[in-house]
Each structure stands twice: as C-alpha cells, then as structure tokens.
A and B are shown apart, each in its own frame.
Chain A
Amino acid sequence: MHTIERRRFMHGAALGALAFTVGGVETLLTPREARAQAVPLRTLRPEEAETLEALGETLVPGARQAGIVHFVDQQISVKPEEALLEARILNVRPPYVNFYRAALAAVERASTAVNGKRFAQLDAASQHDFVDRMRQNKIDGWQGPAGSFVYLVTRSDAVDVVYGTTEGYARLEIPYMAHIEPKTRW
C-alpha cells in the first residue's frame, strides 16, 4: 500500500478555475472573473443567458455577480464526462445543453403567459412569486421539464457559484479546510 504524505497535497493544488477562451486564447478564470471580463458565451444565447442570470439571482442573491451564466455556459460546452454540474448527479441525460434550453424556454413561455413579460423584465417581487410557484409545480400551462426540477437544478447551480466556492465558505465563516485546494477561489 502507498505511503501518502499530506503535505504534498496541500501544495499540490491544481485544476481549479475553468477554461474560458479570451481573445482566442484559452485561459483559466473563475466564473466571476469570466463575467467581469465579459468573456463571450460559447453556447447559451443572449436571451437564455439573461433569463438564467435573473433566475439565478432570484434563487440565490449574488449568483449574478458570481457568474452563474458563465459557469453553466462553460459546463454545457464541454463533454458530459468533464461537466461539473449538479445536473450530472441528478441524472439529467446529456447533452446537458438540451435540458437548459428546454428549462429556460419553459420559464420564458410561462412568464410571458402569466405576467405578460419575460422573466428578466419582472420586478423582484414578481420574480420571487413566479419561482415560488414554479418550485411547487403550480404554474398553469407549464410546458417543459417539471418546474420543481428546473428549480432544483438551477438552484443548485446558483448555490454552487455562491456558497460552494472558497469565497462562499469564507463569507459564511466556515473553514474550508481543503486537502487539495481548488485553484484560486474554487
């Protein structure tokens, strides 16, 4: 059996940030940094990104700035085996882009039908009310993946980028205590 020295791992951090393409060059950034640098999206369409960002912010305050859109966009643009989304362990069938497209379209259809506006254009109280009904499958005429499941998956993404990072732990004053430190703030 191997003798393993913990010290080696404490300094062996790697593979933390995600690979984003900036100016034609692949570079490692956190989703927050990718958003701040306006890194172009690879897969999500502008209106899908707008919906996801508004939904994420409604689910977990801070998700917008934490880069939920860049996180999801990067993850649905890589091979399913490389994806780090909670969708993977929630048994969403790959390619994951299909689920996100269907989910975000369902939110848009329902928001427009119920409120006469796209989700991102609703005020905060209306967004909260919409999400509360979505999570309980209580939106009449909903078409697409079950609202409760859309809630679960996108809430998980928002939780990941806000609370699942070393920054998020620090904000909650929880010691992160990594064996192998995710690079920078992961």
Chain B
Amino acid sequence: MATHEKVDVVIVGAGASGSVFAAVMAGQGKKVVILEQGPDWQPTDLISSDIWGRRVKPVAGPFLLEGKHPVSYGNQGGWGVGGAALHYFANFPRLLPNDFRIKSEHNRAHDWPIGYQDVAPYYDKVARDVGVSGDAKAEEIWRPAGDPYPMPPMKTFRNGDIWLKGFEANGIRMVPAAVGMNSVAFKGRPPCIYDGWCHVGCPIGALANPLVTYLGDARKAGAEVRPFATVTRVLSNDAGDRVTGVEYYDRAGERQVQEASAVVLAAWAAQNPRLMLNSATARHAKGLANASGLVGKYLMTHFASGTFAIFDEDVDNHMGTTGAQWMSYERYGKTSHKDAFGSTFIVAGFALKTNDLGGIANARLDLFGPALDAFMKRAARGMTRITAFGEELPNIDNRIELTSDKDAFGMPLARMIHTYDKDVEAVWNANIEEGVKVAKAAGAKEVWSARGVIPTIHLMGGTIMGTGAANSVVNSYGQTHEIPNLYVAGPGIFATAGASNPTYTIFALSLRGAEHLAANWKTVAG
C-alpha cells in the first residue's frame, strides 16, 4: 500500500460535476487530484460509431438493478474521464421556479432549500464558461429573465421543423432549444457540423463535454487526473468530524491512499451513496454522513414518452444533433395534465442513426426479418420523433443499499431498487396521447408511440440536499451536514427531479458548490 502526499482536494470522478470543482479549486491555486475509475479518454478516442461508442459507458458489474422499473445504468452512466457528460446530448434546459417549491405550492414531495433565484446566476455563468446556443428571450415566456446566451440558436432541419405545425395546433409553443453546443466558433472551439454523432462523443469540441471545458481548464491550472483509480472508501478521523482522504485501487490492483484536506464525491448518483455507505466507521455506523439514514434514498429518474412518425417526404433525419432543435416548457406546470402530477419538458428534432438503443431499428422493436428491413428503408427517409420528458417525484423506497456480495476490490455490490408510481404512469400516458395528436396535426403518414415498459432516463437523488440532517444528506452547496470537509456533487444532490435534462443544472450547482468551498476554504478545510 502506498500513501500519497497530502493534497488540498481529492475529487472522486472526472465527469461533469467533478470537473467543475477541479477547475474552480485548481484555479484558486489548490493542489487537486481527480481519481477516475476508467480510462483517460481523449477526443481522438471518440469514434463515430454506435458500436464503438459503448466503450465510454459503464459495465453493470457493481450494481444489481431491481424494482419494476430498473434504472438504465449502463446506458445512462459514464466510464472514464468525462463521465456521462462525454456522451450526453447537451440539451441545456434549466429547472424552473416551480421545481424548487413543490411542497409549498402543492404539498407534495419537498422543497429545495434554495430557490430558482439562487441558481439562475450560475446558469448564466456556466453558459459563458462552456458555451450555450439558444434564444434566452424566447424562453422567458416561461421563466424569469436572465442573461442572453452567448451564441445564437443552432440550425434546424426538416426533421425538427416538420413538427411545428402540429405543436401549434395543440397550443404548444416551441422555441429554439438551449444546447451546450457551438452554433458558431466559441473560445477557440469550432462550430457544430450537424452530423449527429454527439451521443458517442464529440471529438471536435463543438459540444461542451468536460474534456474541452472545465476539465481542460482544471488541467491547465495544474489539476492531476489519475485514470483507472477505483475509490473504495472515504477515510475519516477518529472523532468522525473530518474526512482525511480516500482509499483507492490503481490499475495494477494495488491499494493506495490519497490524503486530502477536503474530499469531493463526484462519482454520479449511483456510486456516491455506495461509497458513503461503504465508508462506515464506529462514529458513522450507518455510513458516512448518514445520521439521517437518507444516504442512498430518494433515487429519481426521468421518463420519456416518445412519439414516432413517418412523413411522406425526406426529412433529412441524418442531419442535426442528438440533442434537440426545438423545446417547450408549455406542459411544465405540475398539474398541466388532468389527474397526472408532475412536469413535462418537450423536445423535437434529432439526428437519427441506424442502431443502438435510440436508433431507427429500435423505433419498431416488434419488427424483425424482412419486415424490419422494409421498415428500415422507409424510415431512413421519412421518420422523425418527438420526446416528452416527465418528472418522477422522490420516493424513499427508491434506493441504493449495499449487499453482502463483493466486487474485485472487496467492496460490497449495491442493489439499486426503482419503481415508478401512479403519477408517473399518468403523466407518461398523457404525454403519449398528446404526442400522437401533435403528430397527426403535423400531417404524419404513420404515427406510433414507444409503449411497453416505462423507460428510466437520467439518474438523480440518493444524497439529496435539504435544510438539515433530519431531512437530507447535504446542504445546498453539496456540503454534507455532518462532515464539513466532505462534499457531494452531481445529480445526486437534487432534491427533486424536475423534467429538464439535468446536466446544465449539475454544472450550475457544482459551480455554486465549488465557489462556496473556495470562499470558505479556511473554515472548511483549514
């Protein structure tokens, strides 16, 4: 076993949230080490292929996926430097004011300990840091005014524009989608070329993945990234009031200890609670910073109601981005649908590929043989899709817990249990029904919905924020209530899920948390 020289901050995970903390802290002159379980991917590794793109996703090994709606861990997670944000779609909607006050306004779930106005400045800062294209003014029909985005909206294509008539007919206003992509050159990064390979990683830097944004900044400021470093425990002092570093295993399987003045867990909503639960001590018998018993609880996902249509024209569905061209918060009110509680966020216009989970072939999973081949030929010209993301409310039974089985490093596997409730079913169904109406009004020749098991998309919760240890694991900065020099970053700290793609909010909350850590360094880590 080797013990490394003590650093100021050790960050577990080199994805969206870890890279923000690394950039801020290294920028402040702190000595920062980032431990990443997977490889140190470079842009040149991001091959344009759905088959090869699976390399940047995790292997399901450490998690047993249970419940009626098991979490789509393998498709949603990331493996290696950049994390899930290496293959994300870079849709950048934000949470809206109503997301922060569900308890106050509807007596459901719980409020966040902060409001929209606390996060909004960080949305604007992130937009300036990483580059966001969109039309902020157009969005402000649904949200408070803020700064304009630094780039104009992206180009749109027939596969997106063809839906607009249908949305209008159903009273749904669509505006240019806010995306973390370059519509024009930005900070030395080139504009997007609209070839639709975002979801396997953008190697040219037109999409704001961590490699070309915060992680790049962090490295320039001196942060060290150690790939193939699997963290198994967070170490704490005898009194249990401070963390002292982490234990990890290197590529050779050798145990290492990295001591640090502060620890940031940024290993996604799945692995962070697993680590905290596995770091139990005499002082923290239920797991680190888990006096509340809420570590691992309130897992949440989004669900998507997909509507497919084939039009009697070539919609250029090979063109565009994997993210959206158009978006709408028109159904974002929690009670937008009758007898169905929860927000909906609507997007339209995506480039399509042939294979993988989101490919053309999977749009009709019931087809095989010659019928599939005939469909592929038809759909290759005229198929396009809209998606309505829905909100799942936090449910304490959706959780992560350790099992008695162990992985190759002797760390207990974790059981991830997830089941949707009746509200989700109701919102999902309502969005499917509305999607069909939109498609028909748009003039589609064939229309169908992605029925079957309700999908799980994005992962949030497990270490939620709140006002104190009685109701949450961390405060609004991600600082654990019980151990001031232990921070948790990423979607795990969301108090509720909203219906917006989470990464913009992950960046914003991480920036807020990192600036808090930097501003309070002497108190927190001194």
Q: CB of A37 within 8 A of chain B?
A: no
Q: CB of A58 within 8 A of chain B?
A: yes
**In the bound complex, what is the Cα–Cα distance between A4 and B187 (angstroms)?**
11
What's the minimum C-beta distance from A18 to chain B, rounded to whole angstroms? 10
Contacts A6-B204, A82-B55, A177-B196; A88 near B74 (Cβ below 8 A): yes
Q: CB of B305 within 8 A of chain A?
A: no
Enumerate B172-213 residues with CB–CB distance to A below 8 Å. 187-190, 193, 195-197, 202-205, 211-213
Q: CB of A179 within 8 A of chain B?
A: yes
Enumerate chain B residues within 8 angstroms of A2, measured Cβ to Cβ. Answer: 43, 188-189, 205, 211-212, 216
- Chain B interface size, as a band, is 35 or more
Q: CB of B457 within 8 A of chain A?
A: no
Residue among A90, A165, A172, A173 facing the most chain B CB atoms (10 A cut-off) = A172
**In the bound complex, what is the Cα–Cα distance between A110 and B484 (angstroms)?**
59
Enumerate chain B residues within 8 angstroms of A186, measured Cβ to Cβ. Answer: 49, 51-52
**In the bound complex, what is the Cα–Cα distance between A163 and B197 (angstroms)?**
16
Say whether A86 contacts B357, CB under 8 Å. Answer: yes
Say whether B189 contacts A84, CB under 8 Å. Answer: no
**In the bound complex, what is the Cα–Cα distance between A152 and B204 (angstroms)?**
33
Q: CB within 8 A of B355: which of A9, A81, A160, A178?
A: A160
Q: CB within 8 A of B46: which of A83, A91, A179?
A: A179
How many residues belonging to A are interface residues under a CB distance threshold of 8 Å? 56
Say whether A156 contacts B203, CB under 8 Å. Answer: no
Q: CB of A168 within 8 A of chain B?
A: yes
Enumerate chain A residues within 8 angstroms of B113, measured Cβ to Cβ. Answer: none
Binary interface encoding of chain A residues 161-183 relative to chain B, with 1 for a CB under 8 A from any of its CBs, else 0: 00111001100111111111110
Contacts A84-B55, A128-B369; A172 near B376 (Cβ below 8 A): yes
Q: CB within 8 A of B48: which of A59, A132, A178?
A: A178
Q: CB of B404 within 8 A of chain A?
A: no
**In the bound complex, what is the Cα–Cα distance between A86 and B355 (angstroms)?**
10
Q: CB of A131 within 8 A of chain B?
A: yes
Say whether B213 contacts A12, CB under 8 Å. Answer: no
**In the bound complex, what is the Cα–Cα distance between A6 and B203 (angstroms)?**
8
Q: CB of A107 within 8 A of chain B?
A: no
**In the bound complex, what is the Cα–Cα distance between A169 and B376 (angstroms)?**
10
Q: CB within 8 A of A15: which of B52, B355, B366, B377?
A: B52
Q: Can you list 9 A-B contacts with CB-CB less than 8 angstroms, sorted by A residue number?
A: A2-B211, A84-B54, A94-B60, A164-B355, A177-B318, A178-B49, A179-B46, A180-B48, A182-B47
